[in-house]
A = this chain, B = another copy of it.
Amino acid sequence: MTNRKDMTGADALLAALADEGVTVCFANPGTTELDLVRSLEREERMRCVVGLQENVCTGGADGYGRMTGRPAATLLHLGPGFANGIANLHNARRAHTPIVNLIGDHTSWHLPYDSPLTSDIESLARPVSGWVHRIAAVEQSDAAGREAVKQSLARGGQGATLIFPADHQAHTGGEQVALQQPAADVGAEVPAAFDPVAAVQRLKAANRIVFLLGGGGELSGLGVRAQKAVQRLCAALGATAYAETFPSRSERGQGLPAFDRLPYFPEPAREVLDPADLVVLVGALPPVTYFGYEGHPSLLVPAERLLKLAAVGDDAATRLEQVADLLGAVEVAIPVAVLSPPEEGPLTPARIALALANELPERAIVSVEGGTCGYPFYAVSAAARPHTTLTNTGGAIGQGLPVAMGAAIACPNRQVVALLSDGSTQYTIQTLWSLAHEDLDVVVLIAANHQYAILRNELRRGGAVLGNRAAEITSLDKPRIDWVTLAQSYGVPGGRATTSSELTALLRQAFAKRGPMLIEMAL
């Protein structure tokens, strides 16, 4: 092991992380993390991005990890500070994003006294962490940091959480040692060998095939290469293909096929899946309904009709190309989709979608949260300039804005757009400050309908009438939040659009300059 006997535990840990390529830390530290803060003075390789609430930090790490495939660190304060970041770690878990969480804890000998900030951190951490480790001695700091990075990259990407008592952060150790309690063996996962010939046989035997493409990095089902190979397969097999409903990351736009997403509600999803005698999973999980709906099975496709062509984290692109080659599937010209301009008039979700699709710069990253504009945008975005889409993978809302922030840290030369709804954005509204503080090139679009529309849609399912109290509980209308002054109060310039042409003008203004801007889109 590295000799780091003159370093504090905090120094050794940060050096180990930086050695392993972790160079961004999304931080909201407290008193039990101060030696890690002191170490940041010395570890110049680590960039520190402050968030004013912890879901800003964990969502930021999620966005960063999705765009780079590498973990960022988070730095969070004890159990309660960590708890404030759990919701976006839940989303990150569903996105298979590698993240290294650093949680300071009380000095080890202080823990038994149950002082006010003491809590069961492990119990809080396990539901969102593939691996949880408590550093038991300063000499473990180096090994724990390296192991955490390794663990974060296991199983296609996951949360690796280190609990780091304050005394072990502060003290200097002797020789660094290996972890006393070795972690669960990551090597135990032996990836299933891929048999392209068997896959071809299954495909040839099927009559009606649906490909379901999972999101992720460049080699995932929704990367450029995989989508092109799927397009060949669809043409050769008479198959259709869908993106999973909430992909962590997908490539989209001109030059790529216009695959739809699998619908959210069970009825239209079943219209896609029920007629298929083979559903091919390309880095997507077996499709299940989002919630349990009476009269619909949770598991939408039984195992015997599924073909798992690639798991999360596998090189789906190469597998698809092998299969396409074996089938003799030829290249298919992808038609140039034509994008009409939005009709002039008061904003509607469809007009917002068209205005954004028309103005979106090439290589933009669009973080989408909220159903109001998310679905309409997807419906037209195949005709936009090539771009990357990030969606809310785990359903914990307040994810879209922090993920956009993290993507902007990861990709400083790309325009980032956050296409959001007013209800969900409130959960992590403090992100606006970090956008201004870091001067990030993020354009925040708020579809302001002043309600929790998704809940009203669910309440009205089956033709039910919305009750008075249900209407009140799902209303954000009294008072209406003024998003423009809200943004300005955090140092983010803002504007309001009520018509298609106003929105187009504001989008052009926002994309023409560097730095953050918020546009309230009145609905």
Contact = CB atoms under 8 A, between A and B. Distances in A.
Interface of A: 27, 29-32, 34, 37-38, 40-41, 48, 50, 52-53, 55, 79-81, 83-84, 86-87, 90-91, 94, 106-110, 112-117, 119-120, 123-124, 126-128, 166-167, 246, 288-294, 298-299, 393-396, 398, 423, 426-427, 429-430, 433, 436-437, 454-455, 458-459, 467-470, 472-474, 476, 478-486, 488-491
A299 B112 CA distance: 10
A31 B468 CA distance: 17
A304 to B, nearest CB: 17
A398 to B, nearest CB: 7
A126 B128 contact: no
Nearest to A468: B41
B52 A433 contact: no
A214 to B, nearest CB: 13
A298 B110 contact: yes
A459 B37 contact: yes
A166 B291 contact: yes
20 contacts: A29-B473, A38-B459, A40-B469, A48-B473, A52-B427, A79-B127, A80-B91, A81-B396, A84-B396, A90-B119, A107-B292, A108-B292, A113-B298, A117-B396, A120-B127, A123-B123, A166-B291, A485-B488, A485-B489, A489-B489
Contact of A53 (B113, B288, B427, B476): B427
Nearest to A30: B455
A395 B116 contact: yes
B84 A87 contact: yes
Contacts of A294: 107, 167
B115 A120 contact: no
Q: Which of A79, A394, A458, A479 is most buried by chain B, counting CB atoms within 10 A of its CB?
A: A479
Contacts of A246: 116
Contacts of A117: 290-291, 394-396
A53 B87 CA distance: 11
Nearest to A245: B116
A167 B293 CA distance: 9
A119 B127 contact: yes
Identical copies of this chain, number: 2
Contacts of A429: 429-430
A293 B84 CA distance: 26
Contacts of A454: 31
A116 B264 CA distance: 12
A104 to B, nearest CB: 10
A431 B111 CA distance: 32
Contacts of A81: 87, 396
Contacts of A289: 110, 113, 115
B298 A109 contact: yes
Given A116-B290, A489-B481, A126 B127 contact: no
Given A38-B470, A84-B84, 6 more contacts: A31-B455, A48-B469, A80-B91, A86-B124, A124-B124, A437-B478
B479 A491 contact: yes
B473 A27 contact: yes
Contact of A29 (B124, B290, B427, B455): B455
Contact of A481 (B38, B394, B433): B433
- Which interface residue of A27, A395, A472 has the most chain B CB atoms within 10 A? A395
A410 B304 CA distance: 58
A490 to B, nearest CB: 6
Contacts of A53: 398, 426-427
Given A469-B41, A490-B481, A116 B292 contact: no
Contact of A288 (B108, B115, B166, B476): B115
Given A41-B467, A290-B115, A80 B396 contact: yes
Contacts of A112: 298
Contacts of A40: 469-470, 473
A288 to B, nearest CB: 4
Contacts of A114: 288
B48 A107 contact: no
Contacts of A293: 107
Given A29-B455, A398-B53, A470 B80 contact: no
Of the candidates A81, A112, A489, the one having the most CB atoms from chain B within 10 angstroms of its own CB is A489
A164 to B, nearest CB: 14
Nearest to A392: B116
A429 B425 CA distance: 13
A458 B86 contact: no
B394 A80 contact: yes
